[in-house]
Amino acid sequence: MATVITLKKQPYSFVGPVSAAAGGFAGLFVGTAQGSGLLGIILGATLMAGLAYGLMTLDLPRKTVRLGIAAVFAAVGFLLSGPMGLIIGALFGAFFGWFPAWLADGKYRASLPPYLTAREVLWHYTFRIICGLIFFFLIAPIVVVMPLSFNAENFFTFTPEMLRLDPDGYSLKHYQDFFQSNDWQAALRNSLTIAPVATLLSVSFGTLAAIGLSQPHVPFRQVIMAILISPMIVPLIISAAGMYFFYSRIGLQGTYLGVVLAHAALGIPFVIITVTATLVGFDRSLTRAAANMGANPVTTFFRVQMPLILPGVISGGLFAFITSFDEVVVVLFVGSASQKTLPWQMFIGLREQISPTILAVATILVCLSIALLTTLELLRRRSERLRGMSPG
Partner 1 sequence: MADATNTNAGAHADDATGPVLAADGSPLKSSLNKALRAQKLRALALIAPLLIFVMVTFIAPIVDMLFRSVENQIVSETLPRTVAELGDWDATSETLPDDDVYAALYYDLFIAAEYKNHTRLGSRLNYEQTGMSSMFRRVGRNVGDFGELYLDQFEDLDERWDEEADWAALMAHPGYLEDAAEWRDNRDADRIDPRDTPAPRFRLAPGIADLLPQTAQAYSQYAEFMRTEEQETADEDQPWTLVDTMLYNDLMAASEADIAAYSGPMADALQAAHAAVPEFETATLKELFIESDDEWANLDNWATIKVYAPNYTSGYFLTAVDMKLGPDGMVSQPEDQQIYGLLFKRTLFMSMAITISCILLGYPVAWLLANLPMRSANLLMILVLLPFWTSLLVRTSAWKVMLQQQGVINDVLVWLGVVGDGDRLIMINNQFGTIVAMTHILLPFMILPLYSVMQTIPPTYLRAAKSLGATPFTAFWRVYFPQSVPGIGAGSILVFILAIGYYITPEIVGGTSGTFISNRIAYHISSSLNWGLAAALGTILLGAVLILYWAYDRIVGIDNVKLGG
**Residue (36 or 171) nearer to partner 1, CB:** 36
79-97 burial code (b ≥16 CB/10 A, e <16): eeeeebbbebbbebbbbbb
Instruction: Report CA-CA distances (Å) from 283 to 188, 211, 286, 294.
Output: 42, 13, 6, 18
Classify 170 as helix, strand or coil: strand
The burial of 35, by beta-carbon neighbours within 10 Å (0-12 exposed, 13-18 middle, 19 or more buried), is given as exposed
Minimum CB distance to partner 1, residue 218 (Å): 5
Among 347, 344, 314, 334, smallest CA distance to 190 is for 344
State the Cα–Cα distance between residues 101 and 10, nearest whole angstrom: 10
Classify 172 as helix, strand or coil: coil
Minimum CB distance to partner 1, residue 55 (Å): 29
Minimum CB distance to partner 1, residue 342 (Å): 8
Minimum CB distance to partner 1, residue 376 (Å): 7
State the Cα–Cα distance between residues 216 and 307, nearest whole angstrom: 21
> What are the percentages of helix, strand and coil residues in the chain, rounded to 5?
80, 0, 20
Site string for partner 1, 157-196 (x = CB under 8 A): xx--------------------------------------
State the Cα–Cα distance between residues 307 and 142, nearest whole angstrom: 36
**Residue (123 or 302) nearer to partner 1, CB:** 123
Site string for partner 1, 333-362 (x = CB under 8 A): x---------x--xx--xx------xx--x
State the Cα–Cα distance between residues 202 and 274, nearest whole angstrom: 12
Contact with partner 1 (CB under 8 A) among 190, 199, 239, 278? 239
Minimum CB distance to partner 1, residue 76 (Å): 19
Q: Can you name the residues that pair with 151 across neighbouring β-strands? A: 170
**Residue (60 or 139) nearer to partner 1, CB:** 139
Contact with partner 1 (CB under 8 A) among 99, 150, 178, 244? 244
Residues 292-331 touching partner 1, rule: CB under 8 A, are 319, 322, 325-326, 328-329
The answer to the question of residue 246 lying near partner 1 (CB under 8 A) is: yes
The answer to the question of residue 44 lying near partner 1 (CB under 8 A) is: no
Q: What are phi and psi of 170, to 5 degrees?
A: -115, 145
Sign of the CA dihedral running 197, 199, 202, 203: negative
**Residue (62 or 81) nearer to partner 1, CB:** 81
Residues 192-231 touching partner 1, rule: CB under 8 A, are 201, 205-206, 208-209, 211-213, 215-219, 224-231
Count of C-beta atoms within a 10 Å radius of residue 345: 23
Q: How many residues bind partner 1 (CB under 8 A)?
A: 93
Minimum CB distance to partner 1, residue 383 (Å): 13
Site string for partner 1, 249-288 (x = CB under 8 A): x-----------xx-xx--x-x--xx--x-----------
Minimum CB distance to partner 1, residue 15 (Å): 25
Spatial CB neighbours of 280, under 8 Å, sequence gap ≥ 6: 214
Minimum CB distance to partner 1, residue 19 (Å): 22
The answer to the question of residue 384 lying near partner 1 (CB under 8 A) is: no
Contact with partner 1 (CB under 8 A) among 247, 305, 320, 379? 247
**Residue (79 or 208) nearer to partner 1, CB:** 208
Residues 117-136 touching partner 1, rule: CB under 8 A, are 120, 123, 127-128, 130-131, 134-135
Minimum CB distance to partner 1, residue 34 (Å): 9
Minimum CB distance to partner 1, residue 268 (Å): 6
State the Cα–Cα distance between residues 126 and 123, nearest whole angstrom: 5
State the Cα–Cα distance between residues 188 and 192, nearest whole angstrom: 6
Among 247, 254, 259, smallest CA distance to 336 is for 254
Q: Can you name the residues that pair with 170 across neighbouring β-strands? A: 151
